[in-house]
Structure 1
Amino acid sequence: MRAILPRFIDAYILVLEIVVVSSVLSLIAGVFVGLGRVSKTRFTRTVASVYVEFFRGTPLLFQLLVIYVGIPAFGIGRFPNWKYFAAVIGLTLNHAAYSGEAIKGGINSIPDGQMEAARSLGMSYISAMRKVVLPQAWRNALAAIGNDQIILVKDTSLLTVIAVPEIISVFRNVNSNQLETWTPIILVCIAYLAITIPLSRLVRMLESRAEWGEEQ
Structure 2
Amino acid sequence: MSFEFVGKFLPYFNDGLIITLMISACVVLIGTLLGTLIALAKLSKIHVLRWLANIYIEIFRGTPMLVQIMIGFQLLGKIPLPEFQLGILTEDLSRLVPGIIVLSMNSGAYVAEIVRGGINAVPKGQTEAAYSLGIRPTATMFKVILPQAIRNILPALGNEFVTIIKDSSLLATIGVMELYNGAQTTSSTTYQSLSPWLLVAVYYFVVTFITSRLINLLEKKLGKGYTK
Identity over aligned pairs, percent: 35
Match in the other structure for 1:53: 58
- The answer for unaligned runs of 5 or more in structure 2 is 1-5, 83-92
Letter in 1 for 2:79: G
Q: Pick from 97, 117, 135: which aligns with 1:123? A: 135
Rounded Cα–Cα distance in structure 2 between residues aligned with 1:185 and 1:63? 25
- Kindly state the Cα deviation for residue 17 of structure 1 after the two structures are TM-superposed: 0.8
Cα distance, 1:43 vs structure 2: 1.1
Aligned residue for 1:212? 224
**How far, CA to CA, are the matches of 2:45 and 2:9 in structure 1?**
55
Aligned match of 2:150 in 138, 147, 164? 138
Q: Could you say what secondary structure the match of 2:81 adopts?
A: coil
CA apart distance, 1:97: 0.8
Residue in 2 that maps onto 1:7:
12
Secondary structure of the structure 2 residue equivalent to 1:122: coil
What is the match of residue 63 of structure 1?
Answer: 68
TM-score w.r.t. length of structure 1: 0.93
CA RMSD of aligned residues (A): 1.6
Q: Which residue of 1 aligns with 2:104?
A: 92
Q: Paired residue for 1:78, among 77, 80, 102?
A: 80
Q: Which residue of 2 aligns with 1:19?
A: 24
More relative contact order, 1 or 2 (CA 8 Å, 6+ apart): 2
Moved beyond 4 Å, runs of 4+: none
3-state SS of 1:2 partner: helix
Give the one of 189, 196, 209 matched to 1:177.
Answer: 189
Secondary structure in 1 matching 2:209: helix
Q: What per-residue deviation string (whole Å, max 9, x for no partner) do you get for residues 77-105 of structure 1?
A: 23342111011101110001111110000
Cα distance in 1 for partners of 2:9, 2:129 equals 61
Tell me how many residue pairs correspond in the alignment: 213
CA shift digits 1:156-194 (9 cap, x unpaired): 110111101122222222212211134312320122123
Equivalent pair of 2:31/2:107 in contact (CA under 8 Å) = yes
Whether contact under 8 Å (2:76, 2:98) holds in the other structure is no
TM-score normalized by the length of structure 2: 0.88
Q: Any unmatched runs of 5+ in structure 1?
A: none
Out of 33, 41, 55, the residue aligned to residue 36 of structure 1 is 41
CA–CA distance in 1 between the matches of 2:201 and 2:127? 46
Take 1:142 and 1:51, find their aligned partners in 2: how far apart are those partners? 23
